[in-house]
Amino acid sequence: MGYFAPTMFDLHGKVAVVTGAASGIGAAIATLFSRQGAHVVVVDRNPAAQFPCDVSSPDDVRRTFDAILAETGRIDILVNNAGVAHVGTIEQTSPDDLDRLYAVNVRGVYLCSKAAVAVMLRHGRGVILNMASIASLVGVPDRFAYSMTKGAVLTMTMSIAIDYVKRGIRCNCICPARVDTPFVEGYLREHYPGREAEMRKTLEQYQPIGRMCTPEEVASLALYLCSDEAAFVTGQAYPIDGGVLVA
Protein backbone atom coordinates (compact mmCIF):
# COMPACT_ATOMS: atom_id res chain seq x y z
CA MET A 1 0.00 0.00 0.00
CA GLY A 2 1.10 3.55 -0.73
CA TYR A 3 1.92 6.04 1.98
CA PHE A 4 -0.63 8.76 2.69
CA ALA A 5 0.27 11.77 4.82
CA PRO A 6 -1.99 12.38 7.81
CA THR A 7 -3.15 15.60 6.16
CA MET A 8 -3.52 15.59 2.41
CA PHE A 9 -2.31 18.57 0.38
CA ASP A 10 -0.16 19.73 3.29
CA LEU A 11 2.29 22.49 2.30
CA HIS A 12 3.89 23.09 5.68
CA GLY A 13 7.60 23.79 5.37
CA LYS A 14 7.33 24.77 1.70
CA VAL A 15 8.03 28.19 0.20
CA ALA A 16 5.58 29.02 -2.59
CA VAL A 17 6.14 31.98 -4.92
CA VAL A 18 2.96 33.12 -6.70
CA THR A 19 3.14 35.77 -9.42
CA GLY A 20 0.18 37.99 -10.22
CA ALA A 21 -1.03 37.23 -6.70
CA ALA A 22 -2.59 40.57 -5.80
CA SER A 23 -6.02 39.68 -7.22
CA GLY A 24 -8.09 37.09 -9.04
CA ILE A 25 -6.72 33.59 -9.52
CA GLY A 26 -3.33 34.45 -8.05
CA ALA A 27 -4.86 35.81 -4.86
CA ALA A 28 -7.03 32.71 -4.49
CA ILE A 29 -3.99 30.44 -4.94
CA ALA A 30 -1.93 32.45 -2.45
CA THR A 31 -4.74 32.34 0.11
CA LEU A 32 -5.32 28.59 -0.22
CA PHE A 33 -1.62 27.71 -0.17
CA SER A 34 -1.14 29.81 2.95
CA ARG A 35 -4.08 28.06 4.59
CA GLN A 36 -2.41 24.73 3.80
CA GLY A 37 0.74 25.81 5.63
CA ALA A 38 2.98 27.20 2.89
CA HIS A 39 5.14 30.26 3.33
CA VAL A 40 3.59 32.20 0.44
CA VAL A 41 5.52 34.94 -1.33
CA VAL A 42 3.21 37.36 -3.16
CA VAL A 43 4.75 38.77 -6.35
CA ASP A 44 2.80 41.31 -8.39
CA ARG A 45 3.31 44.47 -10.43
CA ASN A 46 1.06 46.23 -7.91
CA PRO A 47 3.42 48.49 -5.92
CA ALA A 48 1.62 47.48 -2.73
CA ALA A 49 2.50 43.80 -3.21
CA GLN A 50 4.85 42.02 -0.84
CA PHE A 51 7.36 41.83 -3.69
CA PRO A 52 6.55 44.35 -6.46
CA CYS A 53 7.87 43.03 -9.75
CA ASP A 54 7.42 43.43 -13.48
CA VAL A 55 7.86 39.81 -14.56
CA SER A 56 8.77 40.90 -18.09
CA SER A 57 11.88 42.69 -16.83
CA PRO A 58 15.03 40.58 -16.37
CA ASP A 59 16.42 43.07 -13.84
CA ASP A 60 13.19 43.14 -11.84
CA VAL A 61 12.94 39.35 -11.77
CA ARG A 62 16.58 38.94 -10.77
CA ARG A 63 16.25 41.50 -7.98
CA THR A 64 12.98 39.98 -6.75
CA PHE A 65 14.19 36.38 -6.68
CA ASP A 66 17.43 37.40 -5.00
CA ALA A 67 15.37 39.13 -2.30
CA ILE A 68 13.07 36.11 -1.93
CA LEU A 69 16.02 33.77 -1.56
CA ALA A 70 17.66 36.06 0.99
CA GLU A 71 14.44 36.03 3.04
CA THR A 72 13.39 32.38 2.73
CA GLY A 73 16.53 30.45 1.76
CA ARG A 74 14.64 28.26 -0.70
CA ILE A 75 11.87 28.07 -3.29
CA ASP A 76 9.84 24.86 -3.37
CA ILE A 77 6.93 25.98 -5.54
CA LEU A 78 6.59 28.58 -8.30
CA VAL A 79 3.17 29.44 -9.70
CA ASN A 80 3.49 31.50 -12.88
CA ASN A 81 0.11 33.17 -12.80
CA ALA A 82 0.89 36.76 -13.87
CA GLY A 83 -0.63 37.53 -17.25
CA VAL A 84 -2.37 40.07 -19.44
CA ALA A 85 -5.13 39.67 -22.01
CA HIS A 86 -6.13 41.07 -25.38
CA VAL A 87 -9.36 40.78 -27.35
CA GLY A 88 -9.15 40.73 -31.13
CA THR A 89 -8.42 38.85 -34.33
CA ILE A 90 -5.09 39.11 -36.15
CA GLU A 91 -6.47 42.17 -37.98
CA GLN A 92 -7.21 43.85 -34.67
CA THR A 93 -3.83 43.03 -33.14
CA SER A 94 -1.06 45.59 -33.52
CA PRO A 95 2.64 44.75 -33.24
CA ASP A 96 2.63 46.61 -29.92
CA ASP A 97 -0.29 44.46 -28.70
CA LEU A 98 1.62 41.31 -29.64
CA ASP A 99 4.82 42.47 -27.97
CA ARG A 100 2.98 43.51 -24.78
CA LEU A 101 1.36 40.11 -24.37
CA TYR A 102 4.52 38.22 -25.26
CA ALA A 103 6.55 40.22 -22.74
CA VAL A 104 4.35 39.31 -19.77
CA ASN A 105 2.75 35.99 -20.69
CA VAL A 106 5.76 34.31 -22.31
CA ARG A 107 8.96 36.10 -21.30
CA GLY A 108 7.62 36.49 -17.76
CA VAL A 109 7.11 32.74 -17.41
CA TYR A 110 10.56 32.13 -18.89
CA LEU A 111 12.33 34.60 -16.58
CA CYS A 112 10.61 33.45 -13.38
CA SER A 113 11.00 29.77 -14.22
CA LYS A 114 14.68 30.19 -15.03
CA ALA A 115 15.27 31.95 -11.71
CA ALA A 116 13.32 29.30 -9.79
CA VAL A 117 14.97 26.32 -11.50
CA ALA A 118 18.41 27.57 -10.46
CA VAL A 119 17.26 27.58 -6.83
CA MET A 120 15.33 24.30 -6.98
CA LEU A 121 18.28 22.41 -8.42
CA ARG A 122 20.30 23.20 -5.31
CA HIS A 123 17.79 21.24 -3.24
CA GLY A 124 17.11 18.56 -5.81
CA ARG A 125 13.37 19.15 -5.99
CA GLY A 126 10.69 21.68 -6.81
CA VAL A 127 7.38 22.28 -8.57
CA ILE A 128 6.55 24.81 -11.28
CA LEU A 129 2.92 25.40 -12.19
CA ASN A 130 2.05 27.59 -15.16
CA MET A 131 -1.28 29.22 -15.93
CA ALA A 132 -2.15 28.39 -19.53
CA SER A 133 -5.70 28.42 -20.93
CA ILE A 134 -8.09 26.36 -22.98
CA ALA A 135 -6.94 28.80 -25.69
CA SER A 136 -3.74 26.76 -25.77
CA LEU A 137 -5.74 23.62 -26.61
CA VAL A 138 -8.55 24.80 -28.90
CA GLY A 139 -9.38 27.82 -31.02
CA VAL A 140 -11.09 30.65 -29.15
CA PRO A 141 -12.66 33.46 -31.20
CA ASP A 142 -11.10 36.94 -31.00
CA ARG A 143 -8.14 35.87 -28.88
CA PHE A 144 -5.33 35.77 -31.44
CA ALA A 145 -2.49 37.27 -29.38
CA TYR A 146 -3.64 35.74 -26.11
CA SER A 147 -3.88 32.27 -27.67
CA MET A 148 -0.38 32.68 -29.12
CA THR A 149 1.07 33.33 -25.69
CA LYS A 150 -0.82 30.56 -23.93
CA GLY A 151 0.26 28.08 -26.59
CA ALA A 152 3.82 29.05 -25.75
CA VAL A 153 3.13 28.52 -22.04
CA LEU A 154 1.89 25.01 -22.82
CA THR A 155 5.00 24.05 -24.75
CA MET A 156 7.32 25.68 -22.19
CA THR A 157 5.61 23.53 -19.58
CA MET A 158 6.35 20.32 -21.49
CA SER A 159 9.93 21.41 -22.18
CA ILE A 160 10.70 22.17 -18.54
CA ALA A 161 9.05 18.92 -17.47
CA ILE A 162 11.12 16.73 -19.80
CA ASP A 163 14.38 18.59 -19.20
CA TYR A 164 14.21 18.30 -15.41
CA VAL A 165 12.21 15.13 -14.76
CA LYS A 166 15.41 13.32 -13.74
CA ARG A 167 16.49 16.20 -11.50
CA GLY A 168 13.52 16.40 -9.16
CA ILE A 169 11.57 19.26 -10.72
CA ARG A 170 7.99 18.78 -11.86
CA CYS A 171 6.20 21.19 -14.19
CA ASN A 172 2.52 21.27 -15.16
CA CYS A 173 0.00 23.81 -16.37
CA ILE A 174 -3.67 24.57 -15.80
CA CYS A 175 -5.93 25.41 -18.74
CA PRO A 176 -9.04 27.24 -17.51
CA ALA A 177 -12.02 28.36 -19.53
CA ARG A 178 -13.45 31.74 -18.51
CA VAL A 179 -12.84 32.58 -14.88
CA ASP A 180 -14.92 35.14 -12.98
CA THR A 181 -12.21 37.63 -11.97
CA PRO A 182 -11.97 41.42 -11.63
CA PHE A 183 -10.62 41.42 -15.20
CA VAL A 184 -14.00 40.19 -16.45
CA GLU A 185 -15.82 42.99 -14.63
CA GLY A 186 -13.46 45.57 -16.10
CA TYR A 187 -13.80 44.08 -19.57
CA LEU A 188 -17.59 44.23 -19.42
CA ARG A 189 -17.60 47.83 -18.15
CA GLU A 190 -15.19 48.96 -20.84
CA HIS A 191 -16.64 47.19 -23.85
CA TYR A 192 -20.34 46.81 -23.00
CA PRO A 193 -21.44 49.78 -20.84
CA GLY A 194 -25.10 49.37 -19.94
CA ARG A 195 -25.12 45.80 -21.25
CA GLU A 196 -22.96 44.20 -18.59
CA ALA A 197 -25.59 41.73 -17.36
CA GLU A 198 -26.47 40.60 -20.87
CA MET A 199 -22.87 40.07 -21.89
CA ARG A 200 -22.03 38.38 -18.59
CA LYS A 201 -24.71 35.82 -19.43
CA THR A 202 -23.04 35.24 -22.80
CA LEU A 203 -19.69 34.66 -21.13
CA GLU A 204 -21.29 32.24 -18.69
CA GLN A 205 -23.07 30.27 -21.41
CA TYR A 206 -19.81 29.71 -23.29
CA GLN A 207 -19.19 26.95 -20.75
CA PRO A 208 -21.75 24.13 -21.21
CA ILE A 209 -21.99 23.86 -17.43
CA GLY A 210 -23.67 27.29 -17.56
CA ARG A 211 -21.33 29.51 -15.54
CA MET A 212 -17.78 30.76 -15.30
CA CYS A 213 -15.16 29.07 -13.18
CA THR A 214 -14.30 30.66 -9.83
CA PRO A 215 -10.75 31.58 -8.83
CA GLU A 216 -11.13 29.26 -5.83
CA GLU A 217 -11.83 26.29 -8.11
CA VAL A 218 -8.64 26.98 -10.05
CA ALA A 219 -6.78 27.32 -6.76
CA SER A 220 -7.98 23.88 -5.63
CA LEU A 221 -6.56 22.28 -8.76
CA ALA A 222 -3.34 24.24 -8.28
CA LEU A 223 -3.06 22.94 -4.74
CA TYR A 224 -3.26 19.33 -5.91
CA LEU A 225 -0.67 19.82 -8.64
CA CYS A 226 1.78 21.57 -6.30
CA SER A 227 1.36 19.09 -3.45
CA ASP A 228 3.20 15.85 -2.82
CA GLU A 229 -0.02 14.01 -3.69
CA ALA A 230 0.78 14.86 -7.33
CA ALA A 231 4.38 13.64 -7.12
CA PHE A 232 3.84 11.35 -10.14
CA VAL A 233 2.41 14.11 -12.34
CA THR A 234 4.59 16.18 -14.67
CA GLY A 235 4.39 17.65 -18.16
CA GLN A 236 0.59 17.73 -18.14
CA ALA A 237 -2.02 20.30 -19.11
CA TYR A 238 -5.10 20.19 -16.89
CA PRO A 239 -8.29 21.73 -18.33
CA ILE A 240 -10.80 23.20 -15.90
CA ASP A 241 -13.38 24.25 -18.41
CA GLY A 242 -16.98 23.49 -17.47
CA GLY A 243 -17.33 21.10 -20.41
CA VAL A 244 -15.98 23.32 -23.22
CA LEU A 245 -13.62 20.70 -24.58
CA VAL A 246 -16.24 17.95 -24.72
CA ALA A 247 -19.13 20.01 -26.08
The residues near 127 (Cβ < 8 Å, ≥ 6 apart) are 76, 77, 78, 169, 170, 171, 225, 226
Point out the catalytic residue in the list 110, 146, 164, 238: 146
Question: Is the domain of 221 the same as that of 106?
Answer: yes
The answer on 204 and 108 residing in a single domain is: no
Range of the domain at 199: 179-212
Residues 224 and 114 in one domain: yes
pLDDT of residue 7: 83
Number of domains in the chain: 2
Query: 160 and 201: one domain?
Result: no
- pLDDT score of 168: 98
Tell me if 194 is assigned to some domain. Answer: yes
| Residue 92 shares a structural domain with residue 127 | yes
Q: Is residue 146 among the annotated active site residues?
A: yes
Q: Are 111 and 26 contained in the same domain? A: yes
First to last CA, the chain: 38
Chain center to CA of 242: 18
> What does the angle CA 83 – CA 20 – CA 231 come to, to the nearest 5 degrees?
95
Q: Are both 149 and 96 inside the same structural domain?
A: yes
pLDDT, residue 1, reads: 47
pLDDT, mean of residues 34-47: 97
pLDDT given at position 2: 55
Contact assessment for residue 78 and residue 17, using Cβ atoms and an 8 Å cutoff: yes
Q: What is the CATH number of the domain that holds 43?
A: 3.40.50.720
Left (φ > 0), alpha (ψ -120 to 50) or beta: where does 74 sit? beta
Average pLDDT of the residues in 74-82: 98
Answer yes or no: do 33 and 91 share one domain: yes
Q: Is the pLDDT of residue 147 over 50?
A: yes
Tell whether 150 and 35 lie within a shared domain: yes
Nearest to 38 by CA among 67, 73, 9, 80: 9
* Statement to judge: residues 163 and 190 lie in one domain: no
Classify residue 201: in a domain, yes or no: yes
pLDDT digit string, tens, across residues 169-224:
999 999 999 999 988 888 888 878 999 999 999 999 999 999 999 999 999 999 99
Beta partners for residue 143, in sequence order: 88
The answer to whether residues 208 and 218 belong to one domain is: no
Amino acid at residue number 180: D
Confidence (pLDDT) at 155: 98
